[in-house]
Structure 1
């Protein structure tokens, strides 16, 4: 599967931000920060990862799943791919 270059750049940026956020969550836990603050940051990391995944899917969903012999995309595979991010 080939993801468009502009999408790759955007997704990589999102993932790097999520990586930084996750590092912050680890530090917060090690420092004994308040549970509410930790959960808030974990939610932010989760949303960042979801957005990265949705961007990849939106950029070329039909490219993610190989078309069958008749040239059609397997709808069950598409549904499974969507649900993997749910």
Structure 2
């Protein structure tokens, strides 16, 4: 996958945010502040999922399977992942 470095960096950032949230909970910070940070992490993870699905779909379209039914199934899986998001 060509965007691996970008995805890893985003995941590391989310990991850091989660550690920060754990610290906020330990320090008994305000609920609204914790939820705000959790929402930011969820948004970040959603973005990573979108990037992975988009890259997978792009790869599927750029290097199609010799079997049209397999190709169609891969595209449908990608679409379903996007819809479920």
TM-score with structure 2 setting the length:
0.77
- Figure out how many residues of one structure are paired with residues of the other and give that number: 80
Q: Which residue of 1 aligns with 2:40?
A: 44
Q: 2:68 aligns with which of 67, 70, 77?
A: 70
Where has structure 1 moved over 6 Å in runs of 4 or more? Answer: none
Once superposed, what is the RMSD of the aligned Cα atoms? Answer: 2.3
**Long gaps (5+) in structure 2:** none
Q: Which has the higher helix share?
A: 2
Distance 2:43 2:12 in 1: 13
TM-score with structure 1 setting the length:
0.76
1:12 aligned to 2:11?
no
